[in-house]
Amino acid sequence: MRRSVAGALLLVLAGCGVDSGQATETDGELGGTLTVLAAASLTDVFTDLGDQLESDHPGLDVQFTFAGSSALATQVAQGAPADVLASADEELLAAVADLGAGDPAVFAENTLVIAVPAGNPADVTGLADLADPGRTIALCATEVPCGAAAARVFDAAGLTPAPDTLEQDVRAALTKVQLGEVDAALVYATDVAAAGSTVEGIDVAEAADVVNRYPLMVLEAAPNPQAAEAFVDLVRSDAGRRALADAGFRLP
């Protein structure tokens, strides 16, 4: 059963030692536990790729922690045991790049759009409506990639946003829209695609030049390095690129 762990998960620090995460490999068959820390916007596509890797290697258990990239980088810097780190921001991953087994590789790109509840009950038409105190708006906090990107978009438009809530990852902002708790949110294009008919997307012209680039790397202290390399290879394979493109990501 897929176990997708939220960002608030209490991770055991590496110094504690966990035998269950150690790699097993017999005749090229991967096994053990593979732990992947990934940006919240990768939830759907990475979960599917994890399922595929488990199907190819029945002895392998792929575990995910999806959260804001800044929280994940902090966990890695503090020694949380993990095999792969995938971020929605190159600068955040660069801060812990020295903990990687190799250079980070950019595998996808994303841009922001406005998400509104189905039917657009507040009649949101553009970015200026997210600067209207009369509407209820969700944005990502500026310390996470979607929030930093949103700040650049508003700067480019010469607008000051009027958020009612600042979320720690993009999926939390999207959920506010899906539940009808806010009139609109600025989220990634891929999140609108993943939400299906529960939300509607509105393109933002100023967002076209504000691109989030997604790097990933195998961590040097990975408990299961063979499985970690296999997962990274899958993400960067033709099949992985098709999955990313189908989810709405731009490919570098």
Q: What is the pLDDT of residues 176-192, one digit of tens each?
A: 999 999 999 999 999 99
170 versus 16: the higher-pLDDT residue is 170
Q: Does residue 9 register a pLDDT over 70?
A: no
d(CA 131, CA 191): 21
Give mean pLDDT, residues 93-109.
87
Strand, helix or coil at 63?
Answer: strand
8 A C-beta contact, residue 139 and residue 187? no
Q: Averaged over 190-216, what is the pLDDT?
A: 95
| Residue 164: per-residue pLDDT | 97
Q: What is the pLDDT of residues 69-81, one digit of tens each?
A: 989 989 998 988 9
| pLDDT (mean) for 16-38 | 66
Residue (of 19, 26, 22, 44) closest to 34 by Cα position:
22
Are 184 and 135 a contacting pair, CB within 8 Å? yes
Please determine, for residue 134, whether its predicted confidence score (pLDDT) is greater than 70: yes
Residue 17 is predicted with a pLDDT of: 35
Measured between alpha carbons, how far is 60 from 62 in angstroms, rounded to an integer? 6
- In one-letter notation, the amino acid at residue 185 is A
* Residue position matching structure tokens 């504690």: 16
Helix (H, G, I), strand (E, B), or coil: what is residue 60? Answer: strand
Inform me whether the pLDDT recorded for 14 exceeds 70: no
